[in-house]
C-alpha cells in the first residue's frame, strides 16, 4: 500500500498583525491500494508447459515480470495464466517477482473442461484434448483443462474461505439470456455454462474493510458464425458481472449461496472483458455495447485509465485504427491492424463508493525508455494486452 500525502495550505487574511492568526490547514494523508489487471499471455498448448517455461525462463516471461515490477500493484489479477490444481506455476511466478505476494489464488476454469456434448455442431463430442475441436466442445474454449486461467496475487490477505464462484451457472438460467435460438441442441443448451472461464468474487482484507474483487474473462465476441454465439455469450458474461454487483435474486453460486454482493459492498471489477465501448463487434439487435452494461451502471465508476503509448501506437500503426471512434489513449490491447485494431478491453472498475486516487495503463510511447517492454506490436514482446492499474482509497 502507498501513502499519498496532500499538503494544502489555506491562508486566511486576518486583520491581526500576528502571523499566528493566519489559518493554515494540516497535512492530509491517506493510504492507497493499487489494484491491477494484466492479461499476461502465459497460456501454453500443453498442461504443465507453463511451469517448465517459468523454470527455464524466456524473454517474454522476463518482460512480463519487469512490467509488473515497474507498476508494483498491491493486488494483481492475472488473465491467461494456465490453471493447475497444484498451484506450482503461480507460486513460482510469485517468487520470481519478489514483490511480497504472500497470498495467491488460482481459480478453476471452464476452459478445456469437456462438456460431453456437441457444442459446435460438427456432429461429434469425442475429440481428443489438444485439438481445436476439443476446445470447441469444452464449456470454455481451451485445448486442455485450465488453459487461459485466472489467478490473483496479493500483498493483502485473501479470505479464501469466503470466495464465491459462478463457474457452474448455466447460460439458460440467466433471465432474458441471449442464447442463439436454434443453434444449440436441447441437450447442449441444457448443460452449457455461461462463464467461459469463471466469474468469481474474491474478498481481500484491507484497512479493516473487505474489498471484493469481481473477476471474469469473457469469451471474445468472434470466432463463430451468423448465429453470433460468442458475441451473445460475451454480452451475457459481461451482464453477469453487472448482476453480481447489483445482487440479482436469480444468482446461485457454486457454493450454494444465493444472490450477489450485499448492498454497499466495496468492489472492483477486474479482468480482460473482451468488450470495447466504441469499436469492435456489436451484438445484432442490441441498443448498447456489452461493456456499457458496466460503464453506465450507477454502482460502478470508470476511472478511464490512459497511456501515452496507446495513442502513439494507433497513430504509428494506422490501418483499422484510423477508423476507430474511441480515444486511443484508453486502449489496452494491441491487435492486428488489418482487422480488429487496438481496443480498450481490459478494465479495473471500482465501485462508486470508493475514492479513486489515480489510474493508468502501462503502455510507454516509442520515445520512452520502457517502450522495449511492449514494443511495436507483432510479435508481442510481453503480451498483446497492457497492464491496467487503479489506485483507490477506502472511505
> Which domains does the chain show, CATH number per domain?
2-111+146-393 (3.60.10.10)
Q: What are phi and psi of 206, to 5 degrees?
A: -145, 115
Look at the block and give the residue holding cell 489513449. Answer: 329
Question: Residue 18: pLDDT above 60?
Answer: no
Give the CA distances from residue 182 to residues 63, 115, 185, 226, 261, in Å, rounded to whole numbers and listed in that order: 45, 19, 7, 12, 34
- Candidate from 284-293, 351-360, 386-395 with smallest mean pLDDT: 284-293
Q: What is the pLDDT of residue 378?
A: 85
Calculate what percentage of the chain has a pLDDT beyond 70.
Answer: 93
Mean pLDDT, range 232-250, rounded to an integer = 99
Calculate what percentage of the chain has a pLDDT beyond 90.
Answer: 88
Task: Grade residue 287 by pLDDT with cuts at 50, 70 and 90.
Answer: confident
Helix or strand holding residue 272 (H, E) = strand 266-272
Question: Residue 3: pLDDT above 80?
Answer: no
Closest Cα to residue 392, out of 285, 303, 282?
A: 303
Residue 151 corresponds to which cell in the numbers above? 489467478
Task: Grade residue 28 by pLDDT with cuts at 50, 70 and 90.
Answer: very low
Q: What is the mean pLDDT of the chain?
A: 93
How many alpha carbons fall within 13 Å on the CB side of residue 267? 24
Closest Cα to residue 50, out of 9, 1, 4, 106?
A: 106
pLDDT tens profile 310-341: 999 999 999 999 999 999 999 999 999 999 99
Task: Grade residue 24 by pLDDT with cuts at 50, 70 and 90.
Answer: very low
With H, G, I as helix, E, B as strand and everything else as coil, classify residue 51: helix
Question: Residue 7: pLDDT above 80?
Answer: no
Task: Grade residue 195 by pLDDT with cuts at 50, 70 and 90.
Answer: very high
Amino acid at each position: 500500500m502507498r501513502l499519498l500525502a496532500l499538503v494544502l495550505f489555506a491562508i486566511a487574511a486576518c486583520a491581526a498583525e500576528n502571523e499566528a492568526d493566519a489559518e493554515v490547514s494540516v497535512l492530509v494523508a491517506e493510504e492507497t491500494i493499487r489494484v491491477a489487471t494484466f492479461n499476461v499471455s502465459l497460456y501454453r498448448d500443453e498442461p504443465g508447459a507453463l511451469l517448465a517455461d517459468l523454470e527455464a525462463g524466456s524473454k517474454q516471461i522476463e518482460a512480463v515480470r519487469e512490467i509488473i515490477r515497474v507498476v508494483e500493484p498491491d493486488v494483481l489479477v492475472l488473465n491467461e495464466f494456465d490453471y493447475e490444481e497444484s498451484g506450482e506455476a503461480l507460486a513460482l511466478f510469485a517468487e520470481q517477482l519478489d514483490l511480497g505476494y504472500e497470498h495467491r489464488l488460482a481459480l478453476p476454469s471452464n476452459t478445456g473442461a469437456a462438456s460431453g456434448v456437441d457444442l459446435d455442431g460438427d456432429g461429434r463430442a469425442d475429440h481428443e484434448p489438444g485439438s481445436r475441436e476439443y476446445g470447441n466442445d469444452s464449456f470454455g474454449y481451451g485445448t486442455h483443462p485450465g488453459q487461459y486461467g485466472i489467478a490473483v496475487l496479493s500483498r493483502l490477505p485473501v479470505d479464501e474461505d469466503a470466495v464465491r464462484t459462478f463457474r457452474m451457472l448455466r447460460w439458460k438460467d440467466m433471465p432474458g439470456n441471449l442464447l442463439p435460438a436454434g443453434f444449440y441442441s436441447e441437450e447442449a443448451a441444457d448443460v452449457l455454462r455461461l462463464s467461459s472461464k469463471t466469474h468469481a468474487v474474491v474478498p481481500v482484507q484491507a484497512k479493516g474493510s473487505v474489498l471484493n474483487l469481481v473477476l471474469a474473462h469473457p469469451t471474445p465476441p468472434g470466432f463463430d458464425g451468423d448465429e453470433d454465439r460468442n458475441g451473445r455469450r460475451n454480452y451475457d458474461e459481461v451482464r453477469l458481472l453487472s448482476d453480481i454487483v447489483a445482487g440479482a435474486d436469480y444468482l446461485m453460486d457454486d457454493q450454494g449461496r444465493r444472490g450477489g454482493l450485499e448492498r454497499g459492498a466495496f468492489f472492483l471489477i477486474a479482468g480482460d472483458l473482451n468488450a470495447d465501448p466504441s469499436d469492435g463487434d456489436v451484438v445484432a439487435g442490441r441498443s448498447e455495447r456489452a461493456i456499457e452494461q458496466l460503464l453506465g451502471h450507477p454502482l460502478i465508476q470508470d476511472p478511464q485509465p490512459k497511456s501515452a503509448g496507446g495513442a502513439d501506437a494507433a497513430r504509428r500503426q494506422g490501418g483499422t485504427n484510423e477508423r476507430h471512434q474511441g480515444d486511443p489513449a484508453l486502449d489496452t490491447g494491441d491487435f492486428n491492424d488489418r482487422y480488429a485494431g487496438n481496443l480498450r478491453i481490459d478494465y479495473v472498475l471500482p465501485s462508486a463508493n470508493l475514492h479513486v486516487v489515480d489510474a493508468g495503463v502501462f503502455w510507454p510511447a516509442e520515445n520512452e525508455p520502457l517502450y522495449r517492454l511492449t514494443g511495436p506490436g507483432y510479435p508481442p514482446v510481453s503480451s498483446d494486452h497492457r497492464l491496467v492499474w487503479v489506485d483507490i482509497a477506502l472511505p
